[in-house]
Structure 1
Amino acid sequence: MRFAEEIHQKTKASIEQAYKVFLIENYSVEDSPYSSVEEMLSEEFIRKHYISEKDMQICCSLNEFDIQHDDMEEILKTHNDIRTLYLQE
């Protein structure tokens, strides 16, 4: 168990960065081939990066984003939608 925790601590920054890139590239379901945020997240982030439930907890705990983007409001909305999905589970 301690070994798994050490791995998560060492990979936390790269998981957060991959999540931020995902949000920038996929913040709009309307502009994607997916019918929901959940489907888009599953296909474009979780499966692509082999993300675990523990990794998603890291992503959902992000409160601050050091990204500059014209559509920041939409990016934060998608992030909050994802947080809602994981809080329901």
Structure 2
Amino acid sequence: MIGSHWTWQSLIDGRMTLTAFCHDPACNHSQKLDLVKLRDRYGPDASAMEWDVRPKLRCARCGGRRVGLSYTPDTSPAGWHGSSYRKAKGE
């Protein structure tokens, strides 16, 4: 993480998962995003913050633009010990 902003590489290094979900109640589709593909497309230091990513997204099922994001740290025992999320919390 650079400063207080996530980058594609910091999400990968922190073993984070980024899930997009459609806000259309008739669709309600969700999908994990491929962070490696996004890093390769936009660059490792490109911002991966919600306000930068969301405008680029469209629901893969219905094509809608009302898409939300969920950032989730790896909370498995192996991932938790080295996660940037854990370090940021001071644990």
TM-score of the pair, normalised by structure 1: 0.29
Higher strand share: 2
Q: Which of the two has higher C-alpha Rg?
A: 2
Higher helix residue share: 1
